Amino acid sequence: MEISKQRVALVIQYLGTRFHGWQRQAQGETVQSALETALANVLEHPVTLHGAGRTDAGVHAAAQVAHFDHHSPIPAHSWAPMLNSRLPSEILILGSVSVSLTWHARFSAIWRRYRYTIYTAKAPNLFVQGVSWHYYYAPLREDLMQAALIPLQGKQHLAAFHRAGSSRSHSWVDVQEAVCYRREPFVYIEIQADGFLYGMVRLLVGMLVEVGMGKRSPENFTQLWVDQRRELVKYSAPAKGLCLLRVGYPECPFPRQLWFDTQPTFLFGDEKNQSMRMTEK
């Protein structure tokens, strides 16, 4: 008796340092190719995995979402532990659930949220260097960076932050939220939008740091992208500081604890001591 087709959704964490991005490529290991290899080893035939977002080389994910179809009797909840035993240590499936055949990891998503982490202490730290940009050259004023982000919200034409080589035909993005905040000695930048341009967040952060240093005013930052001055965007922030934080759906198929905020923020100094005091009470 033939088993009807089933669709399984996965929520996935990965450290992107050694991968050539999410999307399968002719050369170089990617997150998608590693996952598809593990699926093929179980099902004994090629499998196509559809992801919600295409992270670049070196970029991490706290809760990437993907789906695949199969005709096997394996229940949906069994896929997470089964795949984890076959995957590189840098990839972890947080959960696997059954979804309808009309649900799509990419096309059913209504937003994606990225977080960029900047580490501002003078001394380097081995435990954070793989997931943050160590920027100690000058103090960063997060209040100025936040002021520069406020006009970004809404439907905007962001060609100034669109890297060459993209197949996307336009540069319009609906930015739902853009915030910058500090948890000493870290500065975090989070941007949520319906979709993202190729290289957008890293180019944006590269220019936003100039605002934090006082080299560029928040008004000048805004005028740069309003006027589409791509030639003035000189450099991109390092990939290792960027993380796909989560993906939003009208009805998320996963329990909240598996997808909502699974990249921890760091507590140093006074914040750490305050947290410990609160725990002791």
Which residue numbers are catalytic? 56
Reported as half-sphere exposure (CB side, CA atoms, 13 A), residue 115 has a value of 23
CA 84/CA 20 separation, integer angstroms: 20
Give dist(CA 131, CA 210) in Å, integer: 21
Cβ-in-10-Å burial (0-12, 13-18, 19+) of 276 comes to exposed
Check the CA dihedral 15-18-21-25 and report its sign: negative
Pairing relationship of beta strands 242-248 and 60-70 according to DSSP bridges: parallel
Q: How many Å is the Cα radius of gyration of the chain? A: 20
Q: How far apart are CA 86 and CA 43, in angstroms?
A: 13
In sequence order, the 6+-apart residues with CB closer than 8 A to the CB of 41 are 86
Is 114 annotated in a binding site? The answer is yes
Annotated binding residues for substrate: 114
